[in-house]
């Protein structure tokens, strides 16, 4: 079997700017920011006071009590997003397709709410024992396992974990499996729910979180803002999607990966550029055929200027015409879910022919020298787009998408 073209026929989203694709999309193109005061944990002992939280999420509306006992917030998000995506795809997995479907999700830290609460009881309150579901809730593979069980997906299943690139690695691997004929469908994406006191203290100690907002590529940017959420995509071959008359959101055209092999936190333009070039080559796309890049764009001094340098290196003169935006400006940085939420944003840009803005930009940083689509979404022709994910530790992934 040769290489098959792979398309996205289902999408599901749980995010700080909306639950469900319709709400997410409305906020995305309205430039509505989901970042606000932290409410999930007390900020009394935190200097990090803002985040992109998924507000109004009621687990009991989605799961019965027995099931819920086994689900960390990260798995809850993954399951709800996966239900939306599978329903939208119109695929059924009860028959032979279940055997031929992969489940590959990304997460940075997995069930850290369970870990944080359990260890607080143990160390802080002197409890003698932990809840027996502690391990099955907290393991990084739990969201993937739960999604596979939900739909009876019995093909290749595992969690990809590469910090902030986890979901992009997951989607890229799922794409390769469908393209190569190893499976006939994939449920893929990422989830993260790590706004816990312990995790926030860890971020606080890194001194890279902004006190007042996420302004990627802005001259006044002063750090990242954490987010949470999940996005799930259903992938299948173009031919079978067409044959069954499925609604096609866009094509996953290529995937590129690289490692900086340099520093555990500092980004490297060369490594980022290699991932983007690999994605373009894999997709058979010329650099000047790309209209839009959904940037990693965290809003830290180091990331944005380095990513801009990488984009200039890859795209040359075209870099000044290219639209580049960071949807983290609205969602915050959802870490292991970021690549999936941003793949969703990129697909919606292709489908609607509107580029989501970099919200909150006051003055585009001349040092980046990019059209960052500041503040307002822009109607534009978007035939092909890249979505970048560059993780701590220099683990890079870039996904190329094309309009079908």
Partner 1 sequence: MSDLKNDVLSIIADKGRVERDRLALDARLADLEIASLDVIEIVFAIEERFGIEIPFNANDARKEFDTVGDVVRAVESVVAKPAA
Within residues 188-227, the interface with partner 1 by CB under 8 A covers 205-211, 221-223
Left (φ > 0), alpha (ψ -120 to 50) or beta: where does 7 sit? beta
What's the closest the beta carbon of residue 39 comes to partner 1, in angstroms? 23
Stretch that binds partner 1, among 17-25, 87-95, 260-268, 338-346 (CB under 8 A): 260-268
Smaller CB separation from partner 1, 92 or 211: 211
> And the tokens for 314?
């890859």
Does 266 engage in binding with partner 1 (CB under 8 A)?
yes
Smaller CB separation from partner 1, 221 or 309: 221
What does 260-275 look like in DSSP terms, one character per residue? --S-SSS--HHHHHHH
# residues contacting partner 1 (CB under 8 A): 18
57 within 8 A of 123, measured Cβ to Cβ: no
What's the closest the beta carbon of residue 302 comes to partner 1, in angstroms? 8
Of 33, 214, 218, 333, catalytic: 333
Does 261 engage in binding with partner 1 (CB under 8 A)?
no
Stretch that binds partner 1, among 244-252, 295-303, 305-313, 351-359 (CB under 8 A): 295-303
Q: Cβ contacts of residue 109 below 8 Å, gap of 6+? A: 140, 192, 194, 199, 335, 336
Smaller CB separation from partner 1, 39 or 265: 265
What's the closest the beta carbon of residue 314 comes to partner 1, in angstroms? 25
Beta strands in 240-360, from DSSP E residues, in sequence order: 250-259, 292-294, 323-325, 354-355
Helix (H, G, I), strand (E, B) or coil at 337: helix
* Residue choice 25, 162, 300, 327 for contact with partner 1 (CB under 8 A): 300
What is the DSSP secondary structure assignment for residue 3, as one 8-state letter? Answer: P
Of 33, 164, 214, 368, catalytic: 164
What's the closest the beta carbon of residue 354 comes to partner 1, in angstroms? 31
Q: Cβ contacts of residue 226 below 8 Å, gap of 6+? A: 48, 51, 52, 194, 195, 200, 203, 209, 332, 333, 334, 335
* Residue choice 301, 313, 318, 354 for contact with partner 1 (CB under 8 A): 301
> What is the H or E stretch that residue 30 is in?
helix 21-30
CA separation for the pair 338, 343 (Å, rounded): 8
What's the closest the beta carbon of residue 305 comes to partner 1, in angstroms? 11
Q: Which of 60, 16, 63 lies closest to 39 in space, CA to CA?
A: 16
CA separation for the pair 313, 163 (Å, rounded): 25
Helices 112-119 + 73-89 axis angle, to 10: 160
10 Å CB burial of residue 158 (0-12, 13-18, 19+) is middle
List the x/- string, 227-256, binding to partner 1 by CB under 8 A.
Answer: ------------------------------
Smaller CB separation from partner 1, 315 or 390: 390
Does 264 engage in binding with partner 1 (CB under 8 A)?
yes
Does 9 engage in binding with partner 1 (CB under 8 A)?
no
Within residues 34-53, the interface with partner 1 by CB under 8 A covers 47
List the x/- string, 70-99, binding to partner 1 by CB under 8 A.
Answer: ------------------------------
Smaller CB separation from partner 1, 141 or 222: 222
Does 389 engage in binding with partner 1 (CB under 8 A)?
no
The C-alpha R_g of the chain, in whole angstroms, comes to 20
What's the closest the beta carbon of residue 212 comes to partner 1, in angstroms? 11
What's the closest the beta carbon of residue 252 comes to partner 1, in angstroms? 34
Is there a catalytic annotation at residue 296? yes
Secondary structure, 3-state, 114-172: HHHHHHHHHHHCCCCCCCCCHHHHHCCCHHHHHHHHHHCCCCCEEEECECECHHHHHHH
* Residue choice 87, 261, 265, 286 for contact with partner 1 (CB under 8 A): 265
Smaller CB separation from partner 1, 25 or 210: 210
Q: Which of 390, 378, 402, 277 lies closest to 338 in space, CA to CA?
A: 390
Smaller CB separation from partner 1, 66 or 207: 207
Smaller CB separation from partner 1, 39 or 220: 220
> Exposure string (b/e) for 118-130, b if CB count within 10 Å is 16 or more?
beeeeeeeeeeee
297 within 8 A of 304, measured Cβ to Cβ: yes
Of 214, 218, 296, 368, catalytic: 296
| Interface with partner 1 (CB under 8 A) | 47, 205-211, 221-223, 263-266, 300-302
Q: Which residue numbers are catalytic?
A: 164, 296, 333
């Amino acid at each position: 079997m040769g290489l098959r073209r792979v398309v996205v026929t289902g999408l599901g989203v749980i995010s700080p700017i909306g639950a469900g694709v319709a709400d997410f999309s409305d906020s995305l193109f309205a430039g509505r920011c989901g970042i606000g005061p932290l409410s999930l944990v007390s900020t009394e002992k935190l200097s990090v006071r803002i985040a992109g939280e998924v507000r109004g999420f009621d687990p009991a509306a989605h799961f019965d009590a027995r099931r819920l006992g086994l689900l960390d917030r990260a798995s809850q998000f993954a399951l709800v997003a996966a239900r939306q995506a599978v329903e939208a795809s119109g695929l059924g997995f009860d028959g032979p397709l279940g055997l031929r479907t992969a489940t590959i999700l990304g997460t940075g830290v997995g069930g850290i709410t369970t870990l944080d609460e359990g260890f607080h009881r143990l160390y802080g309150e002197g409890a003698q024992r932990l809840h027996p579901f502690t391990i099955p809730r907290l393991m990084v593979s739990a969201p993937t396992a739960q999604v596979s069980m939900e739909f009876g997906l019995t093909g290749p299943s595992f969690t990809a974990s590469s910090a902030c690139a986890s979901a992009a690695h997951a989607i890229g691997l799922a794409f390769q499996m469908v393209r190569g004929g190893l499976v006939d469908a994939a449920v893929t994406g990422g989830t993260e729910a790590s706004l816990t006191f312990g995790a926030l203290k860890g971020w606080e100690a890194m001194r890279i979180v902004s006190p007042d907002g996420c302004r990627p590529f802005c001259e006044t940017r002063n750090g990242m803002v954490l987010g949470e959420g999940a996005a799930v995509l259903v992938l299948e071959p173009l031919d079978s999607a067409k044959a069954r008359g499925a609604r096609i959101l866009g094509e996953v055209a290529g995937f590129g990966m690289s490692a900086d092999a340099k520093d555990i936190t500092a980004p490297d333009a060369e490594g980022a550029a290699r991932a983007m070039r690999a994605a373009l080559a894999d997709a058979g796309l010329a650099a000047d055929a790309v209209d839009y890049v959904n940037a990693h764009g965290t809003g830290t001094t180091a990331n944005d200027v380095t990513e801009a340098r990488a984009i200039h290196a890859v795209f040359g003169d075209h870099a000044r015409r290219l639209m580049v935006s960071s949807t983290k400006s609205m969602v915050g940085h959802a870490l292991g879910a970021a690549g999936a939420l941003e793949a969703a944003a990129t697909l919606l840009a292709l489908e609607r022919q509107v580029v989501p803005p970099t919200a909150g930009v006051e003055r585009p940083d001349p040092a980046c020298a990019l059209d960052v689509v500041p503040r307002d979404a822009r109607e534009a022709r978007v035939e092909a787009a890249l979505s970048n994910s560059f993780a701590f530790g220099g683990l890079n992934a870039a996904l190329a998408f094309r309009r079908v």
